């Protein structure tokens, strides 16, 4: 997503949020003029919420963050585990072999580095643990907080810089730590005849280390401690604005939903991951009173890394900030199970079906997510 497009989308969502809040305010004034008492109004909302919580068809897929507004006083804790696998490399939407990558120029040729790339990522796994909570401040506003812990593990091959380009060996890089914390407000805009609309505005702070070091196998066939490339850093130390708009339509045994979300850096550092724009659409179907299945399609677009850390220099594609971001289309299948006391267990498997990446990058493979939500 280029800067012009990002600004246009940001302006569109800001205007949408402005008018949505205005519409909501007018609705609230209108409701105060209605003969229904405040207690009756709250009881009606509570009855509606209880119905939603016990209808599996109305549960959003676990890949959707901030997908529901809770009634006043309702508190829900959640823990979510995601495992993302990456394997192979591509440029734009064209797959690249190792021999093609090691013939690409190395932009960092100082300090006796080879003129061409000589280290090639093979596979990577990211394990993300997210712990969060949602609290209904009122029937129209919910506070949401989230913390994320990440573990990264990448396997790479090192090739000789000489004419033969012989394989020298392999090595792995591992990092882990608390990555980010966020807090958001979900604002109900409209709820009528099974149709719901709400907005999200929040702040995310990257708290993970952005200067992790690790041991690598150099093209000189020596082990050396260097600052790891951007993809292995746990965070970028930036602050981002989170904006989203979610639409839901619930029927008796079906539900449909769409969500548009923007993440925009507002406190940039020496380098930071690019702004992102995501659209989700899904459909859920009740398989029983307490079990539902969902199908979700998503489109995500992320800018390349902005800025650069001059200490990150290596003959590998991940050391170049331009080789980040791109467009990914994914499809997901999920299950939601309502347990005793309104607790919810969720599972989702996500597979990309089209990727258009900026420069040589590792291709995203499969993501498996498991979540548990406890209603308090």
pLDDT at 14 over 60: no
Residue 111 pLDDT class (50, 70, 90 cuts): low
pLDDT value at position 376? 83
Domains present along the chain, CATH in parentheses: 3-375 (2.40.128.130)
Over residues 179-204, mean pLDDT:
96
Mean pLDDT rounded to a whole number for the chain: 88
Q: Which residue has the higher pLDDT, 331 or 23?
A: 331
Residue 120 CA to residue 361 CA, distance in Å, equals 10
Say which residues have a Cβ less than 8 Å from residue 26's Cβ, sequence separation at least 6: none
pLDDT value at position 55? 84
Give the residue among 146, 154, 114, 113 at the shortest CA–CA distance from 130. Answer: 146
pLDDT value at position 25? 43
pTM to 2 decimals?
A: 0.85
Per-residue pLDDT tens digits for 233-255:
999 999 999 999 999 999 989 99
Helices (H) and strands (E) in the chain, counts: 3, 16
Q: 304 in helix, strand or coil?
A: coil
Residue 371 CA to residue 362 CA, distance in Å, equals 27
Over residues 116-136, mean pLDDT:
97
Contact between 236 and 303 under an 8 Å Cβ cutoff? The reply is: no
Residue 243 CA to residue 276 CA, distance in Å, equals 11
Residue 233 CA to residue 57 CA, distance in Å, equals 39
Q: 93 in helix, strand or coil?
A: coil
Q: Which residue has the higher pLDDT, 4 or 129?
A: 129
Beta-carbon count within 10 A of 24 CB: 18
Q: Which residue has the higher pLDDT, 36 or 56?
A: 56
Q: Which residue has the higher pLDDT, 25 or 352?
A: 352
Q: Which residue has the higher pLDDT, 164 or 243?
A: 243
Say which residues have a Cβ less than 8 Å from residue 163's Cβ, sequence separation at least 6: none
Look-up: residue for tokens 């995601």? 82
Per-residue pLDDT tens digits for 252-300:
899 999 999 999 999 878 899 999 999 999 999 999 999 999 999 999 9
Residue 175 pLDDT class (50, 70, 90 cuts): very high
Residue 10 CA to residue 269 CA, distance in Å, equals 21
Per-residue pLDDT tens digits for 313-329:
999 999 999 999 999 99
Give the residue among 106, 87, 210, 76 at the shortest CA–CA distance from 154. Answer: 87
Give the residue among 186, 196, 333 at the shortest CA–CA distance from 251. Answer: 196
How far does CA 27 lie from the centroid of its chain? 33
């Amino acid at each position: 997503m280029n800067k012009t497009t990002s600004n246009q989308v940001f302006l569109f969502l800001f205007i949408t949020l402005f008018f949505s809040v205005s519409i909501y305010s007018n609705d609230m004034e209108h409701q105060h003029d209605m003969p229904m008492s405040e207690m009756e109004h709250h009881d009606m909302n509570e009855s509606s919420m209880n119905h939603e919580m016990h209808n599996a068809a109305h549960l959003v897929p676990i890949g959707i963050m901030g997908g529901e507004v809770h009634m006043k006083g309702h508190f829900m804790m959640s823990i979510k585990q995601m495992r993302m696998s990456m394997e192979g490399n591509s440029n734009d939407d064209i797959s690249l072999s190792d021999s093609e990558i090691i013939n690409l120029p190395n932009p960092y040729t100082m300090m006796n580095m080879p003129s061409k790339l000589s280290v090639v990522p093979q596979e990577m796994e990211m394990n993300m643990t997210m712990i969060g909570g949602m609290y209904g401040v009122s029937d129209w506003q919910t506070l949401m907080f989230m913390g994320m812990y990440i573990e990264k593990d990448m396997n790479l091959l090192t090739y000789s810089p000489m004419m033969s380009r012989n394989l020298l060996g392999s090595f792995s890089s591992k990092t882990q730590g608390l990555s980010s914390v966020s807090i958001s407000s979900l604002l109900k805009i409209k709820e009528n005849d099974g149709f719901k609309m709400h907005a999200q505005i929040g702040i995310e702070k990257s708290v993970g280390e952005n200067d992790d070091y690790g041991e690598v196998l150099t093209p000189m066939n020596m082990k050396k401690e260097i600052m790891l490339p951007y993809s292995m850093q746990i965070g970028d130390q930036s602050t981002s604005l989170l904006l989203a708009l979610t639409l839901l339509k619930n029927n008796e045994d079906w539900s449909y939903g769409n969500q548009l979300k923007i993440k925009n850096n507002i406190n940039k550092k020496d380098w930071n991951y690019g702004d992102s724009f995501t659209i989700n659409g899904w459909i859920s179907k009740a398989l029983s009173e307490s079990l539902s299945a969902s199908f979700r399609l998503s489109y995500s677009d992320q800018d390349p890394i902005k800025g650069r850390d001059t200490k990150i220099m290596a003959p590998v594609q991940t050391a170049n900030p331009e080789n980040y971001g791109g467009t990914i289309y994914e499809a997901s299948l999920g299950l939601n199970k309502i347990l005793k006391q309104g607790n919810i267990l969720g599972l989702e498997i996500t597979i990309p079906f089209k990727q258009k990446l900026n420069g040589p990058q590792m291709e995203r493979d499969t993501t498996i997510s498991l979540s548990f939500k406890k209603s308090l």
